[in-house]
């Protein structure tokens, strides 16, 4: 029996282990994040996911890779496979896209660092923000230009340090599992204090 890899390069498949590994760590050393913090970070990540999706639409339109964009959103045909789009994007815009991706990661990390929680909980806040951002990114693309047409459609997930390729369902599963891991491992700060007093 051979192992079937979903994403390329091979190490991108290891992203499926991130939610499980994080949950196992958090279960041992609980994370203290309030519902309010999760909601605020979730709202930011959702809005940012929409912004990212619109940037992708603009990039495709600017590169002439988005037929029908001059009409209405309903006229847009976005059925071109993502790997083909990557080869057609001018190198100047590809460089800009790599810098935009790096800036996106810095923004999500900054959000986690601004949250008033302990360091281990900041990792959870970052993963929470990243997962919600990713889910809303795909939802926003689907809602605006009808892509992806199926969760089986291939996508270029990231360009750093090289292009990551996978079907859309792959990042959605990783993100959904990450949201679930954070929710299952989260304890309110009051519970955490109680636990320390009672069992510490």
pLDDT above 90: residue 17: yes
Rounded Cα distance, 17 and 36, in Å: 27
Rounded Cα distance, 125 and 109, in Å: 9
Q: Which residue has the tokens 């037929």?
A: 67
Q: Following DSSP, what letter does each residue of 35-84 receive, concatenated?
A: HHHHHHHHHHHHHHHHHHHHHHHHHHHHTT-STTTTS-GGG----S-HHH
The domain locations on the chain are 34-185
Residue 121, both tokens: 């909980």
| pTM reported for the whole predicted model | 0.80
Helix axis angle, 169-185 relative to 119-145, nearest 10°? 140
β-bridge partners, 186: 31
Residue 3 and residue 166 in contact, taking contact as beta carbons nearer than 8 Å: no
Rounded Cα distance, 131 and 91, in Å: 29
Q: Which residue has the tokens 């993963």?
A: 127
Q: What is the mean pLDDT of residues 1-21?
A: 88
Q: Express each pLDDT in 85-141 by its tens digit.
A: 667 777 777 787 888 888 888 988 988 888 877 887 889 999 999 999 999 999 999
């Amino acid at each position: 029996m051979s192992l079937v890899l979903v994403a390329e390069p091979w190490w991108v498949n290891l992203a499926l282990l991130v939610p499980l590994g994080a949950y196992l760590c958090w279960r041992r050393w609980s994370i203290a994040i309030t519902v309010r913090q999760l909601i605020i970070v979730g709202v930011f990540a959702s809005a940012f996911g929409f912004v990212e999706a619109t940037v992708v639409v603009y990039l495709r339109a600017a590169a002439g890779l988005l037929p029908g964009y001059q009409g209405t959103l309903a006229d847009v045909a976005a059925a071109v496979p993502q790997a083909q789009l990557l080869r057609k994007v001018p190198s100047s815009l590809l460089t800009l896209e790599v810098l935009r991706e790096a800036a996106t990661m810095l923004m999500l990390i900054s959000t986690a660092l601004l949250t008033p929680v302990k360091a281990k909980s900041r990792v959870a806040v970052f993963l929470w923000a990243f997962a919600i951002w990713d889910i809303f990114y795909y939802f926003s693309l689907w809602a605006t230009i009808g892509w992806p047409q199926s969760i089986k459609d291939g996508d270029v997930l990231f360009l750093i340090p090289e292009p990551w390729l996978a079907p859309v369902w792959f990042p959605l599963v990783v993100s959904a599992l990450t949201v679930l891991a954070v929710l299952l491992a989260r304890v309110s700060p009051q519970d955490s204090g109680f636990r320390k007093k009672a069992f510490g």
